[in-house]
Structure formats: structure tokens, C-alpha cells
Structure 1
Amino acid sequence: MATDNVVASLVSEQAVVVPGSRFSVALQLDIRDGWHTYWRNPGDSGQATAIAWTLPDSVSAGEIQWPFPERQYVGPVANYGYHGTAMHLVDMQLAADWPIGEPVVLAAEANWLVCEEECIPERASLRFEIPTGAQANIDPNQTAKFEQTRATLPRTLAIESAYQYAETGDQLRFEFSPAQELIQAESLAYFPFEWGFVSAPAEQQVVIDSEFVSITTQKGDLRFSTPMGGVLVINDPDGGQRAYEVVSSPGPLGASPPVTPLVGETSSLSLGVALLLALAGGVILNLMPCVFPVLFIKALSLMSHANDSAQHARQHGLAYTVGVLASFVVLGVLLITLKAAGEQIGWGFQLQSPLFVSLVALVLFVLALSLSGFVEIGTRLMGLGSNLANQAGYRGSFFTGVLAVVVATPCTAPFMGPAVGFAVTQPAPVTIAVLLALGLGLALPYLVLSWVPAWTRWLPKPGVWMQRVQQFLAFPMYATAVWLVWVLGQQVGINGVLALLMVFVLTALTIWLWQVSSGEWNAWRMLGRFAAVLIIGGIVFLFTLLVQGDAGQATQNMGADESELSKEYVVFDAEQLSQLQAQGTPVFVNMTAAWCITCLANEKVALSSAELRDYFTEHGIVYMKGDWTNQDAAITEYLASFGRNSVPLYVYYPPGDGAARVLPQLLTVATVIEYIERQKVATEPPVL
């Protein structure tokens, strides 16, 4: 049967078969030039070919016998598959009581994915008859084809092997005993049976010695602690190829020398790809809920300056961009310094500090008061001054960029997670470069608008209405401050919330006293300023309480809710997760934090819905949740195992194989259910 890209057929090695015998047939795919199909583990993308047989009761079919694959690169990703002609051998067993002379009818539904730059799922309904007789007869037209295919099937290599991570934590090394078949090889390549344990595009460093044979490569997104199977492909000096099936078990390595850390092009992400992902993630970060309040400020500022000179608009755009980039450099230096000191931290780490959360909440509260017109401060800070030539206006744009970074750090946008995860495992210059790319993406929309004056013509003209808009835009700032108060409550308990709310009240009182006592220097002004200073002292005292934190109270408060929530999810525990995997239980893991607005939005829209919880219950899926609101080394380690350094992270472990699949960072109920259903189809064995 011919499709647009593949000619599919069932072929048999024998022209005549004998009842009671075993014989071989094959699904033959003749693939269009430049296109390819996939191996049992397709690599970074793709889908393995599958066969669903319809057979007589007296005939049984074995599993597909997979020839060793080739690595196919498509941009930054790599797949495992075949080009030209792909033969998928299957052994058939015919019952001894089959009547001689009655042909055996084999029918199959074959499904495959064929790709060039685009991928097309194809299928074929195939039927084949094999005559039966008293004596078997080989089909000479098929003999050579079947022999060549069998030569590419992995053989058994009876050697012991072991694997472990390299010291850098992102490498995987396989070591094999010095079997003669391996020592004579010119080069080796390893293809794992299961997806996710080994990075498909990463370079493989091979050492062949009389004392050991080892392969070092980049680990994939998944952790594992059980034996793992794969195929070793041997490239001989004479140009021939052989393949051996090996099973690697956990254990200490032997005589292998220290491995040079894999960086740059040998990582699962190259620096160039990481920079592009960071840039795209930064642009999308402007659309995330946590950045909306600052987007309002920037929009208001842009409308205020729509009729000013192009030079001044560009200078404000540059000042804002410098503020964003400088903030990312500071974040990068802090990340590098703290990780060098042994701290387990990640993206958004500063919001794990109650003091930082309190300070940001206070700043947003004061800025909201300013936008509402209750106080006469903060307009220059936010870049709302009318005179673009005023130096303070540029400072305002700079600090608006700083504020954008502060409120953006709780979020992780699409493309951003892998880039940040890559950055924190690299040397300091690479880490800073990736974070600068992320910052440039965050600043890019406003920078482009400021440098293309023609675009501002589409904005409304300034007028009295802008005062009303300014007052309205205070409410997102109030809402963000309220959310941060709630975050603080998750960290330090109700006493911390009370302390911060008192700080809000005392700050507003201090500002009011300072303003009403302005004017000539007199007794009332002295009294007002003295009272303001005393109140500031009270604010400092309350902040010392917040720094100490009432962790016990927070734990107690959250524990009261935990008894109810425990009916809906299991608190993350790495050991329990491993046990559930070993039992073949499907698990959905949600890594979240109270300060992550993206996480909270996903939980509200999808993960807390009755429909999804009912779906989990119906399919026996354990919902496991990890809370990264405060520092947690176990969760940090789990995130790092997926090359991530931030939340949210959503992982699904299908039943049986336990191989983890990472979901998108923006969820709906339909997205989660559809993804799980796709994985169920992908992991189910072919119907035989």
C-alpha cells in the first residue's frame, strides 16, 4: 500500500510454511528520499512504528524486532530512526494442527510517523497470505533482505555494566567490562530503549581501553535508579557495524578516568539555543500575570510621552532597558555567589525570603498610594514626569525596569525554564549571558516602541483622562501587594501578616505626617517630623520580626489545611515517588510556590477543578504536590534533575515504565487530560 511518503507492505521470508513451525514476516516501509521513520525510542520527538495484528486463532505473533537506529539531527534536537527501507521483523508461530494446504492469512493495521521538516502520521491496512505445505520453502527474493535485517538486530553481550552521574551532576557515564567485541571497535554509540534518560543530541565521549570501555554523555530530563536497557552500536575499522543489547545497573564505576565536564556544544542545549530560548522567554514574560502591573505603568508612561521628541523617547527606552539588564546582572551574581557557597536555590529564590517579600509588598503599596493621588511621591520613580529631559525622568525609567524584574521573577514563561536551568549549570560568564538575554527579551517590547516613534501615533493623545487612568492603574498594584501579604502568610504565619499590615498603616501615617508638617520650620513641623521618625523606628522593629519569621506558626497554620487537602494530593516525597514508580502507579507531580502567580493561575484554572480530580481518581493517578514557597533542598534537587531551576514544573509518570514526561507551563483541564491520554497511547504495547 502506498501513501504520499511511504510504500508499506507485509513480506515473508518463506514462500511456504509448515504447521507447527516458527517463521518470520516483516512490515517493510520503503521511505521517500529525505524522509525518515522512528525507532522504538524516537528520541526528542516522533513516534515509534506500531503494528496491530488480526490473526487466526492458531497463529500468534511476537514483538517487533528493531534494527539498531541512526541519530538524525533536526536543528537543536535529535531523533532515532530509519531512512531508505525500514524492515520490522516479527516472528510468527503456527499451530501444529493447522490443515496442510490451507493458506495462513495475516492482516495488520500499521501506524507510523514519517518526517522531513514536517511530520505526517500515516497508516495502512495490510493483508498477506502464506501457503502451507508438508515442507518449508524459502522465498529466494526475500532471503537477502531478511539476512541483512538480522545483521542489524542487536545481539546479546554477556557483560556487566554500571552507570552513575558525573561530578557535575548533569552527566551520565556508562562503563563496560573490556569485552573483546568492544575493544576492537573504532567507535561506539549508545541508544537507550527508554526516552528521557539520555540527552539525544548530546555528544558522546567514548574511551576504549584494554582495562575499560566507557561512554560519557549528557543526562536527559529523567532520573532513574533501576536497570536500564539500551543498544551499543559498534563501528568497526573496516566500516562495518554491529549492535549489542546491554542492560546497565546502578553501581560504582571502576577504573574510568575523571571526565571533563560537558559544556557548550556538548550540553543538551548549546549556548546559542539557550540564548534564543531566553530571549523568547523574556518577551513572553511580559504577558505573564505577575508582570501586568508594571505593564500598566509602562503603558501610562508611553502615553505620557507620545508627543515628545524621538530622541527623548529613545533615551527613556534605553534607561528602562539598562534598569532591566542591571537587575538581571545583580540576580545572576547573587545566584552564582550563593550556589558557590553551597546554597540550594533557583529562579525566584529572593521571594523565599520573608524580608524581601515584605519590602516588595511595601514598595508596591506606596506606589499604589501615589497612583491614587493620596501622596505626592513616586511619580518620578515610575517615569511619569512630564519633562523627558529631566534627569529624574531617566532615573524613573531605570527604576521602572528594576521594578519589572522584581515582579517578574516569580514567573516562568514558556522557553524560559530550560534556558535558566542551562544557565545555572554553566560557568559564570555563560550564566550572566543567558540572564542578560532573558532581560533583553523582557525589555524588548518597550525598547522597540520607544525607538520607533511612528508606532506611538496609534496611542491615545494625552489629556485629562490620563489622571483617571493613572488612578485606575493603582488597583492592580494594590492587588499585587495583597497577594504578597498572602505569600508572607504562607511563609511565616498569621503573626507575620499582622506585622506587615501594621507596617502598611504606619508607612501611610508617616507619609501623611511628613506632608502635613511641610512648610516653614516651626514647632508643628518639628513635632510632625519627630513623630515620623519614631514611627519609622517602629517599622524597622516590625521588619526585624518579619526577618526572624514564625516558621512554627506557619507550619501549624498550613497543617490545619493540610488534613483537608491531603484527600486531594500527596505531599511530595522523593522516596514515595520512587516507590509509586516501582509499583507501576501513574503519578502527576506539581511543583509550585505561593509566590508564583503562574503556578496559582494553573491551579485555579486546571489543577483544582473537580473535572480533573475526578479524572485522576478514575484512572488511579496519584496527584503529588511540592511546595517551594520556602527553601527546600529536596525540591531544588528534583527541579535540577529535569534541567530546571524554577517553578512551575509539571511531570507525569505513566503506569508501567515510570518514564517521566514534562508538561507545558501553562495548563488547562483539556491540556492535562489530552497530554495524559497521548502518553497512554504512546506507552501501550502494540496489539498482537
Structure 2
Amino acid sequence: MACARTFTAPIRQLLACWLALIASMALSGAAFAQAPAAIPEQARYGDAKIAAVLYADGAPQAGGEWMLALRFTPSAPEWHGYWSNPGDAGQGMKLALDLPPGWRMGEPLYPVPQRLVISGLMNHIYEGAYTVLVPVRVPAGAEQGALQRLRGHVEYLACTDKICVPQDAVLEARPGGGDFARWRAEAAPPLDARARFAVAGKLLRVAIPLPAAMALSDPHVFVGNARLVAYAAPQTFRRSGDVLVAEIPLDEYGVGKAEALTGILGFGDDAGVRFTAAPGDVPTGGTLVSGPKPAAMPPLWTLILGALAGGLLLNIMPCVFPILSLKALSLARAGESEAAARAEGLAYTAGVVLACTMLGALLLILRAGGEQVGWAFQLQEPGVVVALLVLAAAIAANFAGLFELPAVSVNMGGEKAGAFATGLLAAFVATPCTGPFMAAALGAALLLPVGQALLLFACLGLGLALPFLALGFVPPLRRMLPRPGAWMERFRRIMAVPMLLTALALLWLTVQLGGRAFGLVALLLVAGVLGALFIVGRLQRAGKMAWPAFGLVAAPFVAFAAIALPNLYEAKGAGQRESLLASAPFSAEALAEARAGGKPVFLYFTADWCVTCKVNEAAAIERESTRAAFAKAGVVTLVGDWTVRDEAITQFLNEQGAAGVPLYLWYAPGAAAPEQLPQFLTPDLLAEKASAGR
């Protein structure tokens, strides 16, 4: 209930206001539950605080619309009334009219309401006198004089900054005497065109046709649907041609959906239009008109350089190490002919850039469809992880000489198609973790227009492919590599070890995502595929046709896994993670409660598939020195586990301008905003932060 403005009502008055509202609603609950069946002879509460008078615009005409007006006049400036949807609390009016059979009362027409915010709650109110128009449809066959007099009854709520009281009045229409010309001008006029709306994630998006030349000083959408949106949440407005797109957060505890939408778009200065909206397509993007201002966007050229540098650094980051064996064998062969080296460099680059661009495009498509996903979303899908597990095991078997795969460059064949396939795989496995430079570029890509965003994803892939591309086009670099020889076959077999470790890591991740039974079936699938590949290798060495045998042996395992895996999958919950820091799971409520305690807060986001996250946790977070420093300073630790898709975590990452994990935030006591820590944590960084924050 918003009985007073935030800056005028002391806590004692707020408590009194709430108690008064509870008492008044208890007394009037029966009356507010439904419209009266008959007009009472006298008012129950009276209208001493806000008087109500009913006016009629002339006499009713058969087959026409007869306009009535309810004029509300406060007895003192501190009293205010409410719009039909009062907001977070309050009460709209309940009107009953004693109409002849066949006469129909239409939807009341209100002026643009005002906003009243107190203690984080918003109400839609009217200060001073205001008029509600009530259209009445008169049937075509109505006789002249059929209505000798019109009586009615209205119930409503009147509030000040100290108390709220129920009001009601027995009405009798006063023909003439009302200023209907002014009252019609004050009511929000209808919008000629129909608006569209869609629910995307946790946002209500409304497309309102409005000329681009129309000035908007302080736009706000008053939504008529109850329990749909968070009334006090900031609203964002963007222009897309002659369409104004409003984005309004949904009510966390509301209905979350609507078949139709009604409301009033306020322009500022009590001007606005009322609209109705049907479900439909709502444009994305556009020019920001009003709303929370995002952090200043760096120039595009700096974002391009950041994407290139971030992709380049992926070649040495821990999360990329499992695929270094693929690159090592390809680079070792770069001493062949110059034309072949260039061709392979271009093919590998094409594969990497295509994979990064396609992943980025899919990410943008899913987000446009309302999905809360971020970078590396593919590793949050158990099916994708199982496929990668099988692929990593097969590559390890190929490296170990179990079988030959001539079309792919993980062997010594040197085909352009193989280099292209290696590039696709390298990008797909290498991009889950975000590193320096890369984080800012990918965070910006989620906010930029589609063309610029895809350019950044392509530059990320180009940065990842640059070392191999340089070897293909710079002969002195190739001459620095060892000459091809028998050592390459030994090196290839040695590289089976890191690929096998990669497969084991993916098996562990499979268990983390889907449970032990899920992981056991995935392991059985891997065993079946490796057994089939072993048979392929035996047939290859005998000079016989090999690959039909692979299909015959592997098919039963694949079919069994396709049936069993979905039934055995156990979604991972956001439970307590084992930690020296006694960390609690992240939620918006937990973060607000921790910050309200006046202690430092360390919030970090991680995932089981993020190698960089695990390195940081081992090197800097899960340390006895960190635990002791945190305990001494009273630091509260929260952790967001993004191993599986979590909309709340994704939304929070987006708000921080991060496209993925890891993300480390430090909230100093009383600070308005967090400090974002580096993505590579030094061993003593957190302990030093805790000591400095005491």
C-alpha cells in the first residue's frame, strides 16, 4: 500500500498506514468482494474524505451511447484516490448502476494516473479532483422516458500519508451541469492502432504504434492487467521506427501470462493514450528512449580488438588445453608445400570462424525468443556433453592408432576437409570459458545490433585461428617447426593421453549434469563405439572394407543410449557446494540479505565445465589462507552454479555485462555497486581484499 511518498513518510507513519489499511479492508471485505446486487438506500461509510457526484451528459438516446461522469473531489489536498488497477496495493472503485433491462454499462474511462512510490512499492493514484467517465450503451428499442431517474452506488478507497479509509456514496445522476467537454479531454484517448505484446523470459514486451516524431518526456506504461508486471520496476523504452517498444519486468509472484493486455501509456505532464494489445511479434533492438542506462559502450573497433585478443589468448588458456593435441599435429605438418600449408591454414580458419559465428547466431536467436542463455550454453545441455564425450574418446582412439580416419586432419592425412573439421571442433570445445579482453567483447555482443554482434563472434574465431593461419602464410614460422619424420607418429600417440584425459573430464561432467546412472549409460555408449572402432582398425589393417562393420556394432549401443539417457537424466539442483568458505547458493534475495547485513560479500559464478573456473577455485578460492581471512573479516560468500541452465543466473550475468563464467564480484559494505575482480585470480587476491575491507 502506498499511502505516502517515500521522502515524506516516517517509519511510524508507514506502520500506522499499513495497520489502518488492514483494518479498513477487514471492515469492508464483504463490500469489496463483489458489486452490490441492489442499490442501498444510504451509504455505509460516506464520502466525507473524497466526495463522489454522478453527472449525466443530457438525456439518453435510443441506440446511442449515453455518457455519465463520476466526479471525485477530495476534502483536503492530502487525500488521493486510485486508478482501476491501483498497483501494489490500494483499491479501485466498484460501481453499480440501476439500469433498465438491456442497458449496458461500458468500461470506465480514466485520466492518466500518477505514480506514487513508497518503500519500493508503486501505486497508481489521483491527487486532487478527477473524473471517471462511464459510457452506457442504450438499446435501439429503448422508449423515451423509460429511465425516470438513474441511481447508483460506488465504493472506493481514500488515503493520506497516515491513514486509508473506505468510502462509498449512493448516487443519483444530475442531468446537465457537468463540464463534459473538459472531462472528455482529460480522459486518456484511445490509440487508433492495436498494440502487440509478448512475454520474453521475465519481461513483458509491448509494441505500441506511435509516430517517431512524438516527444516523450517521461514515458510510463500503466498496465491494467492485475498481477502481471512488477509495478515499481524500471521500464525500458526503445523506438523502432513508428513503434515504441516498452520492456517491463514481470511480477515475480504474479500470473506471468495474459490473453490480452490493456493499459495507458503516459507521456509525462498528465498526457497519454489508452491502448489494447493482442499477442504478437514485438520488434527487437531500436534506439533507447528511456530506461536504465547501460554502461557506456566502448567503440566498436576496441571491441573488435578485444574479441581478436580474447580468441588469441584462448590458445594458451587452461580450458583450451584438451584440444592442443589437435593443433599440435596440424602445425607439425605445416612444413609441407607452401600451397598446401596456406590451404590448410585457410580451411582451419574457416572452420573456427564458422563455428564461432554459428554459436553466436544461435545464442542471439535463443535470446530473441525469450531464452535466458549465455556464452557456452551448449555445454549446459547433457546431450551435447555426451556427444563430445564420444567424440573425445574416438579422437583419443585415433591418436593411439586404434583406427584410421583419412578424411579428418587429426591423423596425418593433410586433407583440407580435415583441417576445416578440426577448426570446427577446436572452436566448439575451446569457447566455453571467457578470458581477458574476450569478456567485454562478448558482453557487448549481447547488446549490439545483430550485424555487429556477429562480427564480434567472427573476430573471436579469427583470433583463435590466428596462430595456425600465420603458420600457413609465413614461411619463416613454418621453418621453425621440426621436419616431418617418424617422430610425428610417436608424437601422435603421445597426444592420445591429453585427449583421453579430456574424455575422462567430460565423463565426470556427464555425471555432474545427469547423475551416476546417466553417466554409466554414457560410459557404456563410449565402450560400444570404441569396440566398433577397434573392429574398424582390425579390418583396415587387413585391407578390408571397415566402416559398415562400425555401423553394425555401434548401432545397438547408440539405440540403447538414445532410449535410456532421457529416462535416467536427473537435473542437477542448485544445492550447497562443498567449499572451505561455507558458501551459500546465489539468489537475488540471498544477495540482498547478505548486503543488508553490512558485511563484505564475495559473489562468484562458476560451472563444472569451465576449466578456468576450476583453476581459480583451486589456486585462490579454496585455500586455507582465504578461509581464515574471510572468517576474520566476516565475509559472506555466495556462489552461482551455472553448470546447467539457470535463468536467474543468466539474467544477473547479463546485468553485469558478462556473457559467461567465470565472474567474480566483491561488494564492499555500503557500496552502491560491486567491484568486478579479474578473471584470473592470484592466490592472495581474495585474502588481501578481505583484509582491506575490515
**Residue 561 (structure 2) aligned to one of 539, 542, 547:** 542
Tell me whether 1:432 sits opposite 2:444 in the alignment. Answer: no
Q: What is the alpha-carbon distance in structure 1 between the residues aligned to residue 118 and residue 458 of structure 2? A: 40
How far does residue 288 in structure 1 lie from its aligned partner after superposition? Answer: 1.0
How far does residue 422 in structure 1 lie from its aligned partner after superposition? Answer: 0.9
- Contact 1:513 / 1:532 at 8 angstroms: preserved in 2? no
Q: How does 1:418-567 map to 2 (within 5 A)?
A: 418-516=440-538, 533=552, 535-551=554-570, 554-555=572-573, 562=576, 565=579
- Contact 2:219 / 2:267 at 8 angstroms: preserved in 1? no
Q: What is the alpha-carbon distance in structure 1 between the residues aligned to residue 596 and residue 466 of structure 2? A: 47
SS in structure 1 at match of 2:287: coil
Q: What is the alpha-carbon distance in structure 2 between the residues aligned to residue 295 and residue 315 of structure 1? A: 20
Q: Go from structure 1 to structure 2 and tell me whether the alpha carbon gap of 1:423 and 1:162 turns closer, same or farther (over 3 Å shift).
A: farther
Task: Give the letter aligned to residue 450 of structure 1.
Answer: G
Q: What is the alpha-carbon distance in structure 1 between the residues aligned to residue 350 and residue 550 of structure 2? A: 38
Q: Go from structure 1 to structure 2 and tell me whether the alpha carbon gap of 1:373 and 1:414 turns closer, same or farther (over 3 Å shift).
A: same
Tell me whether 1:626 sits opposite 2:640 in the alignment. Answer: yes
Q: What is the alpha-carbon distance in structure 2 between the residues aligned to residue 658 and residue 265 of structure 1? A: 16
**Residue 590 (structure 2) aligned to one of 569, 576, 597:** 576
**Residue 334 (structure 2) aligned to one of 281, 300, 305:** 305
Task: Give the letter aligned to residue 400 of structure 2.
Answer: S
SS in structure 1 at match of 2:354: helix
**Residue 593 (structure 1) aligned to one of 589, 595, 607:** 607
Task: Give the letter aligned to residue 312 of structure 2.
Answer: V
How far does residue 543 in structure 1 lie from its aligned partner after superposition? Answer: 3.4
Q: What is the alpha-carbon distance in structure 2 between the residues aligned to residue 321 and residue 535 of structure 1? A: 32
RMSD: 3.7
Q: What is the alpha-carbon distance in structure 1 between the residues aligned to residue 476 and residue 570 of structure 2? A: 54
Q: What is the alpha-carbon distance in structure 1 between the residues aligned to residue 600 and residue 439 of structure 2? A: 24
- Asked which structure has the greater CA Rg, the reply is 2
Tell me whether 1:603 sits opposite 2:617 in the alignment. Answer: yes
In structure 1, the partner of 2:670 is: 656
Q: Go from structure 1 to structure 2 and tell me whether the alpha carbon gap of 1:347 and 1:520 turns closer, same or farther (over 3 Å shift).
A: closer
Q: What is the alpha-carbon distance in structure 1 between the residues aligned to residue 452 and residue 676 of structure 2? A: 25
- Contact 1:265 / 1:271 at 8 angstroms: preserved in 2? no
Q: What is the alpha-carbon distance in structure 2 between the residues aligned to residue 520 and residue 481 of structure 1? A: 29
- Contact 2:351 / 2:422 at 8 angstroms: preserved in 1? yes
Task: Give the letter aligned to residue 416 of structure 1.
Answer: M
Q: Deviations over 1:524-552 (max 9, x none)?
A: x99x9579525423223213433455225
**Structure 1 residues not aligned, in runs of 5+:** 1-158, 165-208, 216-224, 229-251, 682-688
Q: Go from structure 1 to structure 2 and tell me whether the alpha carbon gap of 1:669 and 1:520 turns closer, same or farther (over 3 Å shift).
A: closer
Q: What is the alpha-carbon distance in structure 1 between the residues aligned to residue 602 and residue 327 of structure 2? A: 39
- Contact 1:649 / 1:665 at 8 angstroms: preserved in 2? yes
Task: Give the letter aligned to residue 261 of structure 1.
Answer: T
How far does residue 669 in structure 1 lie from its aligned partner after superposition? Answer: 2.1
Task: Give the letter aligned to residue 626 of structure 1.
Answer: G
Q: What is the alpha-carbon distance in structure 1 between the residues aligned to residue 474 and residue 550 of structure 2? A: 49
In structure 2, the partner of 1:291 is: 320
Q: What is the alpha-carbon distance in structure 1 between the residues aligned to residue 294 and residue 550 of structure 2? A: 62
**Residue 317 (structure 1) aligned to one of 328, 334, 345:** 345
Q: What is the alpha-carbon distance in structure 1 between the residues aligned to residue 216 and residue 542 of structure 2? A: 89
SS in structure 2 at match of 1:480: helix
TM-score w.r.t. the length of structure 1 is 0.57
In structure 2, the partner of 1:236 is: none
- Contact 1:591 / 1:648 at 8 angstroms: preserved in 2? yes
Q: What is the alpha-carbon distance in structure 2 between the residues aligned to residue 336 and residue 210 of structure 1? A: 31
**Residue 361 (structure 1) aligned to one of 366, 389, 402:** 389
Q: Deviations over 1:102-154 (max 9, x none)?
A: xxxxxxxxxxxxxxxxxxxxxxxxxxxxxxxxxxxxxxxxxxxxxxxxxxxxx
Q: What is the alpha-carbon distance in structure 2 between the residues aligned to residue 513 and residue 564 of structure 1? A: 43
How far does residue 210 in structure 1 lie from its aligned partner after superposition? Answer: 12
Q: Go from structure 1 to structure 2 and tell me whether the alpha carbon gap of 1:611 and 1:467 turns closer, same or farther (over 3 Å shift).
A: same
Q: Which deviates more from structure 2 when the two are superposed, residues 295-304 or residues 416-425?
A: 295-304
In structure 2, the partner of 1:637 is: 651
Task: Give the letter aligned to residue 584 of structure 1.
Answer: G
- Contact 1:569 / 1:624 at 8 angstroms: preserved in 2? yes
Task: Give the letter aligned to residue 539 of structure 1.
Answer: V
Tell me whether 1:279 sits opposite 2:301 in the alignment. Answer: no
In structure 2, the partner of 1:399 is: 421
TM-score w.r.t. the length of structure 2 is 0.57
How far does residue 566 in structure 1 lie from its aligned partner after superposition? Answer: 8.8
SS in structure 2 at match of 1:327: helix
Q: Go from structure 1 to structure 2 and tell me whether the alpha carbon gap of 1:414 and 1:521 turns closer, same or farther (over 3 Å shift).
A: closer
- Contact 1:361 / 1:485 at 8 angstroms: preserved in 2? yes
Q: What is the alpha-carbon distance in structure 2 between the residues aligned to residue 359 and residue 297 of structure 1? A: 18
- Contact 1:364 / 1:477 at 8 angstroms: preserved in 2? yes
How far does residue 625 in structure 1 lie from its aligned partner after superposition? Answer: 0.6
Q: Which deviates more from structure 2 when the two are superposed, residues 469-478 or residues 577-586?
A: 577-586
Q: What is the alpha-carbon distance in structure 2 between the residues aligned to residue 384 and residue 521 of structure 1? A: 18
Q: Go from structure 1 to structure 2 and tell me whether the alpha carbon gap of 1:676 and 1:437 turns closer, same or farther (over 3 Å shift).
A: farther
- Contact 2:510 / 2:518 at 8 angstroms: preserved in 1? yes
- Contact 2:630 / 2:690 at 8 angstroms: preserved in 1? no
SS in structure 2 at match of 1:591: strand
Task: Give the letter aligned to residue 356 of structure 2.
Answer: F
Task: Give the letter aligned to residue 362 of structure 2.
Answer: L
SS in structure 1 at match of 2:435: coil
In structure 2, the partner of 1:40 is: none
Tell me whether 1:255 sits opposite 2:267 in the alignment. Answer: yes
Q: Go from structure 1 to structure 2 and tell me whether the alpha carbon gap of 1:461 and 1:580 turns closer, same or farther (over 3 Å shift).
A: same
SS in structure 2 at match of 1:426: coil
**Structure 2 residues not aligned, in runs of 5+:** 1-114, 121-213, 221-230, 235-263, 274-284
How far does residue 372 in structure 1 lie from its aligned partner after superposition? Answer: 0.9
In structure 2, the partner of 1:190 is: none
Q: Go from structure 1 to structure 2 and tell me whether the alpha carbon gap of 1:275 and 1:549 turns closer, same or farther (over 3 Å shift).
A: farther
In structure 2, the partner of 1:413 is: 435
- Contact 1:587 / 1:624 at 8 angstroms: preserved in 2? yes
Aligned residues: 432
How far does residue 469 in structure 1 lie from its aligned partner after superposition? Answer: 1.2
SS in structure 1 at match of 2:492: helix
How far does residue 589 in structure 1 lie from its aligned partner after superposition? Answer: 0.7
Q: What is the alpha-carbon distance in structure 1 between the residues aligned to residue 445 and residue 380 of structure 2? A: 20
In structure 2, the partner of 1:202 is: none
More RCO (CA 8 Å, sep 6+) = 1
In structure 2, the partner of 1:613 is: 627
How far does residue 478 in structure 1 lie from its aligned partner after superposition? Answer: 0.8
How far does residue 459 in structure 1 lie from its aligned partner after superposition? Answer: 1.7
SS in structure 2 at match of 1:625: strand
Q: Deviations over 1:255-303 (max 9, x none)?
A: 3599963499995223222212111111111111121232232222222
Q: What is the alpha-carbon distance in structure 2 between the residues aligned to residue 514 and residue 227 of structure 1? A: 62
SS in structure 2 at match of 1:413: coil
Task: Give the letter aligned to residue 602 of structure 2.
Answer: F
Q: Go from structure 1 to structure 2 and tell me whether the alpha carbon gap of 1:352 and 1:535 turns closer, same or farther (over 3 Å shift).
A: same
In structure 1, the partner of 2:100 is: none
Q: What is the alpha-carbon distance in structure 2 between the residues aligned to residue 534 and residue 574 of structure 1? A: 51
- Contact 1:569 / 1:622 at 8 angstroms: preserved in 2? yes
Q: What is the alpha-carbon distance in structure 1 between the residues aligned to residue 396 and residue 233 of structure 2? A: 58
How far does residue 160 in structure 1 lie from its aligned partner after superposition? Answer: 10
Misfit runs of 4+, over 6 Å: 159-164, 225-228, 263-266, 518-522
SS in structure 2 at match of 1:286: coil
- Contact 2:528 / 2:553 at 8 angstroms: preserved in 1? no
- Contact 1:586 / 1:658 at 8 angstroms: preserved in 2? no
How far does residue 427 in structure 1 lie from its aligned partner after superposition? Answer: 2.1
